[in-house]
Amino acid sequence: MRYAGIVVAGGSARRLSGVDKPALSVGGKPLLARAIHALDGAERVIAVGPRRPGFDVVWTREPVPGTGPVAALAAGLVFVPDDVEAVVVLAADLPGVRRSTVDRLVAAVGDGDGAVLVDAAGERQWLLGAWRVPSLRAAVPEQAENAALRRVLGGLAVAEVPAERGEADDIDTPEDLERHR
């Protein structure tokens, strides 16, 4: 299945004192680079957030920065090519995301609307998923600002993909960062 990728790379990182989370380095590589490299098989990668040098992606911003992941998703969808079947959506703070993660998500879409990674606690990770483009476009509301991602995507036919160890981890706090460094 041909796919594009959207990396949600904005946000205020309040629990990390407003630091540029995607620029944080884990294992010698910025978190943003980890997400972009995981999308190595994508026809196009769109990053939604402040432009950062050194990445060969399409950059965009939501109309009102800081209005949440649904607004970021809507902004990224504008740049998804019409000839791809799916779009992989990744947060930019995932130290354990890999190309194999993306491959498993894309394969799991099947005949449904999408697939999401499920962490060890059984929680769906909405910013670690693959979606059929028409389903995603239909689900995103016109007024995307401050909409809840779980509500927007939760009504779709979603396959659950169990996360491998560390794959669903994200960096939200100084403790998370220290644990992954």
DSSP code string of 39-57: TTT-S-EEEESS--TT--S
Q: How many domains does the chain have?
A: 1
Residue 127 lies in a domain: yes
pLDDT at position 24 is 81
Distances (CA, A) of 107 to 30, 40, 122, 160: 27, 15, 20, 11
pTM of model > 0.75? yes
Residue 80 lies in a domain: yes
pLDDT at position 141 is 96
Question: Residue 151 contacts by C-beta under 8 Å, 6 or more apart in sequence?
Answer: none
Residue 179 lies in a domain: no
Residue 143 lies in a domain: yes
Amino acid at 9: A
Burial class (CB in 10 A: 0-12, 13-18, 19+), 109: buried
pLDDT at position 173 is 72
Residue 180 lies in a domain: no
CATH of the domain at 119: 3.90.550.10
One pLDDT digit (tens) per residue for the chain, 181 residues: 999 999 999 865 555 556 677 888 888 899 999 999 999 999 999 999 999 989 999 999 999 988 999 999 999 999 999 999 999 999 999 999 999 999 999 999 999 999 999 999 999 999 999 999 999 999 999 999 999 999 999 999 999 999 999 999 988 776 776 777 6
Residue 128 lies in a domain: yes
Residue 181 lies in a domain: no
Q: Which two tokens stand for residue 54?
A: 């050194």
* Domain range enclosing 18: 1-173
For residue 124, the cross-strand partners are 118
pLDDT at position 23 is 81
Question: Residue 20 contacts by C-beta under 8 Å, 6 or more apart in sequence?
Answer: 13, 50, 52
Residue 178 lies in a domain: no
Q: Which of these, 7, 87, 74, lies nearest to 43 by C-alpha position?
A: 87
Distances (CA, A) of 7 to 62, 86, 110, 122, 126: 12, 14, 22, 23, 12
